[in-house]
Structure 1
Amino acid sequence: MGMEIRMILKELIQDIDVTSISGDTSIDIKNVAYHSKNVVKDCLFVAIPGLKFDGHNFVDEAIERGARALILEKPMRKRGNICHIVVRDSRVALARLSSRFYHHPSQKVKLIGITGTNGKTTTAYLLESIFKKAGIKVGTISTINYRYLKNTLKAAHTTPESLELQKILKDMVDSGVSHVVMEVSSHALDLRRVDGCSFDIGVFTNLSRDHLDYHQDMASYYRSKERLFTDLLQHKEDPWAVINEDDPKGGLLKNVVHAKVLTFGIDVKGDIWADSLSPTPKGISAQIHTPYGVFTMESALYGKINVYNILAATGVCVCFGIPLGIIKEGIESLSHVPGRLQRVSNNHDIHVFVDYAHTDDALKRVLLSIKEAGQGQIICVFGCGGDRDPGKRPLMGQVSGKLSDFTIITSDNPRTEDPYKIIREIEEGIKQVQVDRYAVIPNRRQAIQYAIDLARPGDTVIIAGKGHETYQILKDETRPFDDLVVAKEILDNRKARNGNEI
């Protein structure tokens, strides 16, 4: 059991932008909540106008459950002796007071924030591996899960809501963690989840179309990513920005960042760069150039896309002064990243990969990496998620049509949308580049089965879109479904076949 946290309300709200206060701020606060169901005795309730629900509509329930004070974005009628605090932005207020409530844990660790469309998770895993080789106690906040030492927590979001985030950071600090690697999503930046954090290093991997159902346009999407470097990377002494200079937005970003800049690239030779890239039977090898020397590495990760992630992780470690030999050892000891070009082992000489690629750019990068390796025919299985940016559906169809030898269009997570409608929108794209090298199989298991049955020895099957996910969402039902497990079952049951049988 941890020690009870309590704080005088007046102290708790020191860092927030208050418009008005009505009530006693000398009271003790023992808990903070933004969901009325989580309110307990002597709690501060933060009412947030959410994307689906407005916390202001649940103020009375919060008071019934024990709230003694309210943070409000909208003025409301006074309720008894409950302290009302009106703020300009309740999300920002929640982030800042959560940090104060948990005694500013991010100031007590080296905090690395990784943002970008693709590569965040793999870069985080690489850093975790290198830090462990360096003897550093590391915590990781990732799309896959939140983990530190022997603790693993389920990830509800890539980046937790600010209150949970600060609690996790405090638990990490209390456990002796000294370095924390955090994936920072565009949603987290736009919704101010990380506003209470003090970052030592910000990493920019790349930017391409994603989440436009939320951000509406690429300019807004980029601005959300930019916040990490312009607004949040200035609370620690000597912060660094590690930026992919091969990405056009990277060149723009390095000119506005409030920190020292270290660049990386392959096409553009930044401070960290790679050459002599060569596919190997188990992954890829490359020569990595740094300001402090050169090393050659052989990684179990696959393709040029992962060399960029390796360069990003190397850049962070160079900022921290970690020896190149340790960096190399950490890179080479990482066997895989869940659902990121993850191999599915089999005895049929078929190269089967599961990957999280769910945008046209991510799918393009994955397929190009496979083509560069020159491994037989490429069979791609993918669908698109429902209730998400519909504009990327035909684009993903075009990409697979151009770069795969055969495409199987299937369902991803249709959510509340008609899966057949989503498939038709993907078909609109693929038909623009070819008309006879694809099939539509809405049932995802049957689609994977068909792809593996179609493959001959030496061919590659890419199962894209869901990666590490262990479920499929159809309307209001969430069913167990794991691409890796399904592919493995099918491969284990597949009888050896001669190429002329297909």
Structure 2
Amino acid sequence: MRLEQLLHELPLQASHGDLSVAVAALTCDSRQVAAGTLFFALHGTKVDGHRFIHQAVASGAAAIVLEDPTYAPAQIPWVQVTNGRQAMALMAARFFGQPTRDLPLIGITGTNGKTTTSYLLEGILTAAGLPAAVLGTISYRFGDTCIEASHTTPESTELQGIFRQLADAGAKAFVMEVSSHSLEQRRVDGSVFDVGIFTNLTRDHLDYHGTMQAYSSAKQRLFSELLKPDTSTPVRHAVINADDPAAEDFIQAAACPVIRYGLAQDAEVTVREMSSSVNGISAILVTPQGEQPFHSQLLGGFNLSNILAAATAGVALRLPLQAIVQGIEQHTTVPGRLERVVNGVGVTCLVDYAHTGDALENVLSTLKELATARIITVFGCGGDRDNGKRPIMGRIAADYSDLAIVTSDNPRTEDPHEILRQIREGILPLGLREYSPDELTTNPEYKGFVMLENRHEAIRLGVQLAKPGDILLLAGKGHEDYQIIGTTKHHFDDREEASNAFRERT
């Protein structure tokens, strides 16, 4: 494709050279530049891409898109734009043939519930005869095509290429988790959304956004800008969780019709006659299209909210109610989301990705309602991330559990013991007893907690202490199969660790 085609209707500040030059690839990483590549020089959070323009030129770049003309090369064509990231996203969509223009695209944003909602939607769309590709935290996949997820939402040049690959593989719809980072960095600009879902808003990513208002505003872009109806997509819908305190902010931000879901009075999609047990959730789904009973194997009120989010998106797309219920009922589990670890000792061992205070409280409150014996929770907090949530998560884990085992979770470049100390600060006001690992092996008499930095040993301790009927929750890492220590990834999977520990125990 020629550069001038990619620039169609894109406002330019200045340009230089032959804009009819052929472009064979796009990237903002100078290390990936080869002959014919269009290189985007972006102002990053850590490095300035303009400093690598000379390297891109030396590697055979066809042209440069930049914001600062001070770095403009004389040898090859270049264009100056106001917002490099937005330009890159729009040009990437054109380069890959606008893959989301003719297929339904549902974007899911919110602090928690995005992944489970995406899996539910995959089932609903498939039941409706629209086999869906899913792009999320765990993977980007469709049928036999599965690409390991580098980010919840990849960079725009990668994202549009993945859309094209999955569409060519036969996908008839797209479901995408949309992170606040990607909205702030305009990675999803150029994607044509038909439905946007807001799940909830609780504290997360403040290490990046700084304030809850900035975090919320980033997520609101999906509804205020990217769901604005236009001539290509005149009908778009915002699906909003009416039960969340931030709902009204997102409703006010929406530039398209809103459909509310939840248990609130003004929710257009809700349930009645609901019952919940260790076997799942049963209820009658109530929608503007009619009512239908359903049973889901998912557990807890937070998963009911995820079910309603997915069902409401189906309603927005005018899918048959029967297909919506079929998709809900056929869904069984999501990797790392209350995923069971089978064992022969009668312990309910669950692995969950809960890594925010709200997510951990949702999971533990559900387990508390279902528990017939003790709850033992193994959890930690990631390094180089928002440290304000550490004492919050410590308090929640210790308050809801009979025993909280505080351990490492991707310490990265931080001192693991300092992370544990900050978690401990949230537990101390509860007045609980702090045990040593050795004391616990003699069966603790009182509710309490223990600090054990080594996650391998922490999981083994939890398995060793759990009795038949107990619930053992391994929280924080979920589907992840690695532990980041320093800047190095080491293989580590909570599910494997627990399985091995139970096998040795029996």
Q: TM-score, normalising length from structure 1?
A: 0.95
Of the candidates 437, 441, 447, which is equivalent to residue 452 of structure 2?
441
The one of 357, 375, 392 aligned to 2:354? 357
Distance 1:489 1:268, change over 3 A: farther
The reply to whether residue 70 of structure 1 matches residue 64 of structure 2 is: yes
Match of 1:486 in 2: 497
Amino acid at match of 2:221: R
- Are 1:422 and 2:394 counterparts? no
* SS of residue in 2 equivalent to 1:337: coil
Partner of 1:97: 91
Distance 1:268 1:117, change over 3 A: farther
Distance in 1 between residues matched to 2:153 and 2:501, nearest whole Å: 34
Aligned residue-pair number: 489
Is 1:312 matched with 2:309?
Answer: yes
Q: How does 1:207-222 map to 2 (within 5 A)?
A: 207-222=201-216
SS in 2 for 1:18: coil
Range that drifts further, 263-272 or 179-188: 263-272
Aligned residue for 1:146, secondary structure, equals: strand
The Cα offsets for residues 249-282 of structure 1, whole Å up to 9 and x where unpaired, read as: 1122112211111110124451111233333333
Alpha-carbon distance in 2 for matches of 1:77, 1:131: 48
Q: Which residue of 2 aligns with 1:405?
A: 402
Match of residue 244 from structure 1: 241
Between the aligned partners of 2:466 and 2:27, the Cα distance in structure 1 is 53
Residue 35 (structure 1) shift: 0.8
Distance in 2 between residues matched to 1:400 and 1:269, nearest whole Å: 33
In 1, Cα distance between the equivalents of 2:139 and 2:86? 24
Per the alignment, in what secondary structure is the counterpart of residue 13 of structure 2? strand
Q: Counterpart amino acid of 1:215? A: H
Q: Could you tell me the percent identity over the aligned residues?
A: 44
The superposition leaves residues 414-444 of structure 1 with CA deviations (integer Å, 9 ceiling, x where unpaired) of 0000000000000000111132100011111
The 3 A distance-change label for structure 1 pair 78 and 239 is closer
Give the equivalent residue in structure 2 for 1:3.
none
Seen in structure 2, the aligned counterparts of structure 1 residues 78 and 317 have a Cα distance that, compared at 3 Å, is: closer
Cα shift at 1:71: 0.6
Counterpart for residue 377 of structure 2: 380
Correspondence for 2:443: none
Q: Distance in 2 between matches of 1:444 and 1:268?
A: 44
Instruction: Map Cα deviations across residues 134-189 of structure 1 (whole Å, 9 max, x no partner).
Output: 22121110100000122000100000100011111112222332210000000000
Cα 1:78–1:449 shift into 2, 3 Å = closer
Closer, same or farther in 2 for the Cα pair 1:255/1:445, shift >3 Å? same
Q: 1:321 aligns with which of 318, 323, 326?
A: 318
* Deviation of the 1:78 alpha carbon: 4.5
1:499 maps to which residue? Answer: none
The alpha-carbon distance between structure 1 residues 370 and 268, as it changes in their structure 2 partners (threshold 3 A), is farther
Q: Is the 8 A contact 1:17 1:93 kept in 2?
A: no
Per-residue deviation, 1:61: 1.1
* Contact in 2 for aligned 1:279/1:373 (Cα 8 Å): no
SS of residue paired to 2:359: helix
User: Equivalent of 2:467, from 446, 453, 456?
Assistant: 456
1:243–1:250 Cα contact (<8 Å) kept: yes
- Aligned partners of 2:51 and 2:71 also within 8 Å: no
Q: Gaps (5+ residues) in structure 1?
A: 1-6, 496-502
- CA–CA separation in structure 1 for the residues paired with 2:346 and 2:293: 28
Q: In 1, Cα distance between the equivalents of 2:99 and 2:369?
A: 44
Matches within 5 A, 1:10-89: 10-89=4-83
CA distance in 2, matches of 1:435, 1:77: 60
- Output the amino acid matched with 2:337: R
Q: Secondary structure at the match of 1:248?
A: coil
Structure 1: distance between partners of 2:393 and 2:235:
41
Distance 2:340 2:166 in 1: 32
Give the unaligned 5+ runs of structure 2.
434-447
Give the equivalent residue in structure 2 for 1:339. Answer: 336
Give the Cα separation in 1 of the matches to 2:501 and 2:266. Answer: 44
Which of structure 1's runs of 4+ aligned residues deviate more than 6 A? none
Q: CA RMSD in A?
A: 1.4
Q: Which of 374, 391, 395 is the aligned partner of 1:394?
A: 391
Q: Give the secondary structure class of the aligned counterpart of 1:432.
A: helix
The residue number in structure 1 matching 2:119 is: 125
Deviates more, 1:408-417 or 1:68-77: 68-77
Structure 1 residue 489, shift from structure 2 partner: 1.5
2-structure distance, mates of 1:405, 1:482: 24
